Structure 1
Amino acid sequence: METQSKKVEISTSIVLKTIVILLGVWFLFLVRDIIILLFIAVIIAASIDPAVDYLQKKKVPRSAGAMLIYVILFSILALIISFMVPSIVNQFHDFSQNSSQYFGDFGGAINSSQNSGINRIIQGIANNIESSFTNISKNIFSKTLGVFSGLLSVVVVFSMAFYMVMEESGIKKFIVSIMPEKNKTYAASLTDRIEGKIGKWMLGQLFLMLVIFVLDFIGLYLVGVPYPLLLAIFAGILEVVPYVGPIISAVPGIILGFLVSPTVGMLAFVVYLIAQQFESHVVIPLTMKKAVGLNPVVTIVAILIGFKLAGVLGAIISVPAATAVSLVVNDLMEK
């Protein structure tokens, strides 16, 4: 009887723990958007924390140092936007005016294809893209609400990051405060390592985006591809998604190049290829390998999982999240 009683108690305990874990996972899934915003705030805080630490050593209060970094960053961003926006607007307006012609030429080229199955598939894709540009002015109200929601999220993220940085070791103190007493020491050590890797990843990622933007803009401009500024910005933004982003960003530039002439299309392909080879063999080894150190397969799987769970934002933060998880897994394997 006593043995049966113990079995019942153990079974009940396991069932209850399983239920609690499942409820916790379900709750985290429900609030995943909030968790993503919090994680982005941690990434930003980890990126600017070293600069704030440096200013603190120079007798600048942390709150003033964090505010100074924000002012510098947003001033640089505003300066860049003021120079680039007129060209971006002109190129986008020109592209929207000529989109029907471009997609018509693309459809005509496809119609000459010998393979009717591929013809129908690609023609359908071209029609969908063209209809997207045609209907871009619809649903203005919902799009406006989306813009305001996005701006609110940006304000919330930068506000959280500011308060994390304002207090010395703010990120670590926050993480440690929610951990059980027996795990506080390990949590502090783990947070320091994760914060260091995420900070390096963020700075390295910004550098990669800048390099790809500059290389693609110069290359596409020189070979005569239309709208080089828009295409370069598109490539720079998608650089935040490893492996997949560069492939996607190359497609519109190559298509536009072939619509000009086969020679320009091939040259556009060469431009993207050279930029990616330079990034893979020169820039990434210098900036990202030590910061992240993830296997390419693990990185791709993490991106797919992130995209499935939270869309584009999930894909963007999947790499630093996977880096943090890999540190925990390595610690568990060593025990």
Structure 2
Amino acid sequence: MSNQSISISTDTILRVIVVLLFLGFLFLIRDVLALIFIALILAAAFDPMVDWLHKFKIPRAVSIIVIYIVAIFFVGWSVYLLVGPITEQILSISQAFPHFYNEIQRTLGGTVDLNSLFNQDVINSSIADITKNLGKATSGIFSVLGSVFGGVISLLVVLVITFYLTVEENSIKKFITSVTPIKQQPYISKLIVAIQHRMGFWLRGQLFLSIIIFVLVYIGLLSLGVKYALTLALISGVFEIVPFIGPWIAAIPGVFLAFSQSPSKALLVGIMYLVIQQLENNLITPKVMGKSTGLNPLIVLVAIMIGAKLGGVLGALLGVPVALSIAVYIETLIGDKKNRDNTLVK
């Protein structure tokens, strides 16, 4: 049997070491990279609005400041209007839960033993914890927002980076191509434009979609006389980002609370959620989102789950943009390969 030897050049070993050191460095600065990525996402979302305002001879710097002021006002106004009433509604739900529980048990007429399905003490304890945390949110909403970004300083850093990425036209493309080898700059430039367009469209579309669902559910629950309509509508708006299961998870508490009022009302609420879901799937989502994101809902769900596992709330928020960037990168690779093949055929 002949002896076989594997020869690895010094150059190859050095390349592997450099790559490993580079990956280790990226891991060490992962928090900084996350802030930069968030800024890139916000810049991609703001850029079309800045371009639109710039058409009216408004300087880009002034346009960004105006957008910031409007966004801060909108968030503050939403917090002022929503957090207080929602906290009161959650507190009311916590206090009234035993009554709801007994009403449902009475309505079922003993056909189903809820005590064998649910632990009432555990549920009451969970609702009490939520109430306590929401109560703190009334006075500390900006601390909660800051914790998502890793602190107030980090939030300010994101806003500053976003400003500089947006203040100059095509600054995102210029920033990334400036740290790219000259040979790869045309490809990277095209890639950045595609990612920026797709990501900005997704972010604006998803926000608009959540607001539409929030309004529809709120109007529907109010018209049916369901208690705690504001809280239930907010749950629907938040869970709208989760494909497949999100809307159905959001419907469960609505049907449950309606059932505590009457079985017929629960049926009507269930039908309402179903109608809104069908409107969303067949009319609202195609109009708002179209096919521009190019992401399968299953991929979105997996991206959110992986992001949440790796980085908690922030990871879940970044999961879809990361998946979107990867999808655009793969699409450009496939598109370039097809173009080369067509050129060879000709």
Q: What TM-score range do you get, normalising by the shorter chain? A: 0.7 to 0.9
Q: Structure 1 residues 44, 59: closer, same or farther in 2, change over 3 A?
A: same
Q: Could you tell me which of 81, 96, 99 is aligned with 1:101?
A: 96
Structure-1 residue corresponding to 2:340: none
1:64 and 2:58 matched: no
1:234 and 2:235 matched: yes
1:55 and 2:56 matched: no
* TM-score of the two chains, using structure 2 as the length reference: 0.80
Distance, in Å, in 2 between the alignment partners of 1:302 and 1:8 is 38
Q: Structure 1 residues 286, 98: closer, same or farther in 2, change over 3 A?
A: closer
The Cα shift of 1:256 comes to 1.1
Distance, in Å, in 1 between the alignment partners of 2:218 and 2:86 is 13
Structure-2 residue corresponding to 1:177: 178
Instruction: Assess if the C-alpha contact under 8 Å between 1:91 and 1:230 holds in 2.
Output: yes
The Cα shift of 1:278 comes to 0.8
Q: Structure 1 residues 281, 65: closer, same or farther in 2, change over 3 A?
A: same
Q: SS at 1:101's partner residue?
A: helix
Task: Give the 5 Å matches for 1:99-138.
Answer: 99-103=94-98, 105-106=100-101, 109=104, 120=116, 122-124=117-119, 126-135=120-129, 137=132
Q: SS at 1:7's partner residue?
A: coil
Q: Structure 1 residues 317, 274: closer, same or farther in 2, change over 3 A?
A: farther
Distance, in Å, in 1 between the alignment partners of 2:309 and 2:11 is 33
Q: CA RMSD in A?
A: 3.3
Distance, in Å, in 2 between the alignment partners of 1:228 and 1:159 is 38
Q: Once structures 1 and 2 are overlaid, which stretch shifts more, 195-204 or 90-99?
A: 90-99
Q: Once structures 1 and 2 are overlaid, which stretch shifts more, 229-238 or 66-75?
A: 66-75
Distance, in Å, in 2 between the alignment partners of 1:306 and 1:43 is 16
Distance, in Å, in 1 between the alignment partners of 2:247 and 2:179 is 39
Instruction: Assess if the C-alpha contact under 8 Å between 1:255 and 1:265 holds in 2.
Output: yes
Instruction: Assess if the C-alpha contact under 8 Å between 2:100 and 2:257 holds in 1.
Output: no
Unaligned runs of 5+ in 2: 338-346
Q: Structure 1 residues 63, 94: closer, same or farther in 2, change over 3 A?
A: closer
Overall identity of the aligned pairs, in %: 38
Distance, in Å, in 1 between the alignment partners of 2:268 and 2:123 is 24
The Cα shift of 1:108 comes to 7.8
Unaligned runs of 5+ in 1: none
Instruction: Assess if the C-alpha contact under 8 Å between 1:302 and 1:318 holds in 2.
Output: yes
Q: Structure 1 residues 293, 94: closer, same or farther in 2, change over 3 A?
A: closer
Q: Once structures 1 and 2 are overlaid, which stretch shifts more, 276-285 or 234-243?
A: 234-243
* CA offset digits 1:274-332 (Å, max 9, x no partner): 11111111111122232201123322222221221122332233222212101111233
Distance, in Å, in 1 between the alignment partners of 2:32 and 2:105 is 45
Structure-2 residue corresponding to 1:7: 7
Distance, in Å, in 2 between the alignment partners of 1:80 and 1:8 is 62
Distance, in Å, in 2 between the alignment partners of 1:272 and 1:219 is 9
Q: Could you tell me which of 40, 43, 63 is aligned with 2:41?
A: 43
The Cα shift of 1:209 comes to 1.0
The Cα shift of 1:182 comes to 1.9
Q: Structure 1 residues 8, 22: closer, same or farther in 2, change over 3 A?
A: closer
Distance, in Å, in 2 between the alignment partners of 1:137 and 1:287 is 37
The Cα shift of 1:24 comes to 4.5
* TM-score of the two chains, using structure 1 as the length reference: 0.82
The Cα shift of 1:7 comes to 2.2
Q: Structure 1 residues 105, 76: closer, same or farther in 2, change over 3 A?
A: closer
Distance, in Å, in 2 between the alignment partners of 1:123 and 1:47 is 44
Q: Structure 1 residues 110, 188: closer, same or farther in 2, change over 3 A?
A: farther
* CA offset digits 1:136-190 (Å, max 9, x no partner): 54897xx969535446144333232122111221211221122222211111110
Instruction: Assess if the C-alpha contact under 8 Å between 1:241 and 1:316 holds in 2.
Output: no
Q: Structure 1 residues 280, 14: closer, same or farther in 2, change over 3 A?
A: farther
Instruction: Assess if the C-alpha contact under 8 Å between 2:90 and 2:127 holds in 1.
Output: no
Q: Structure 1 residues 329, 261: closer, same or farther in 2, change over 3 A?
A: same
Structure-1 residue corresponding to 2:73: 75
Q: Structure 1 residues 14, 114: closer, same or farther in 2, change over 3 A?
A: farther
Q: Structure 1 residues 130, 34: closer, same or farther in 2, change over 3 A?
A: farther
Distance, in Å, in 1 between the alignment partners of 2:11 and 2:99 is 66
Distance, in Å, in 1 between the alignment partners of 2:14 and 2:238 is 45
* CA offset digits 1:105-139 (Å, max 9, x no partner): 437857987788x955x424x54342133345489
